[in-house]
Amino acid sequence: MTISKLNIQITVFGRVHGVGYRYSALHKARELSITGFVKNQYDGTVFIEAEGQEENLDQFILWCQQGPSFARVEKLSKTIGTLKGYSSFSVKP
């Protein structure tokens, strides 16, 4: 049985800049063997492209809905994307 990977694109809305959201997401993604990236957007949101096993992505999404302790997530949107084959998870400026 082959375990397939998925690609999801997540946008996180709320107080998510200046609260350590990206680096906390990096830590959580690595913990869950998720690859991709996280970056701040000019509109005040955080964008995440994540690839991994569905079960791990589900856990990651649950974490993203809360974020680190100083974040205040108001809303999260997600879409299924096309696999890109990332080898690691990184923080983009």
How does residue 4 score in pLDDT terms, banded at 50, 70 and 90? confident
What domains lie within the chain, and their CATH numbers? 5-92 (3.30.70.100)
Ranking 2-6, 9-13, 58-62, 65-69 by mean pLDDT, the lowest is 2-6
Do residues 84 and 34 lie in contact, with contact meaning Cβ atoms separated by under 8 Å? no
The single residue listed with the structure tokens 């983009």 is 92
Query: Can you tell me the distance from the alpha carbon of 48 to that of 40, in angstroms, rounded to the nearest whole number?
Result: 9
List residues with catalytic annotation.
Answer: 22, 40
Q: Look at residue 1 and tell me whether its pLDDT is greater than 80.
A: no
State the burial class of residue 17 (Cβ atoms within 10 Å of its Cβ: 0-12, 13-18, 19+). middle
Q: Per residue in 6-39, pLDDT tens? A: 999 999 999 999 999 999 999 999 999 999 999 9
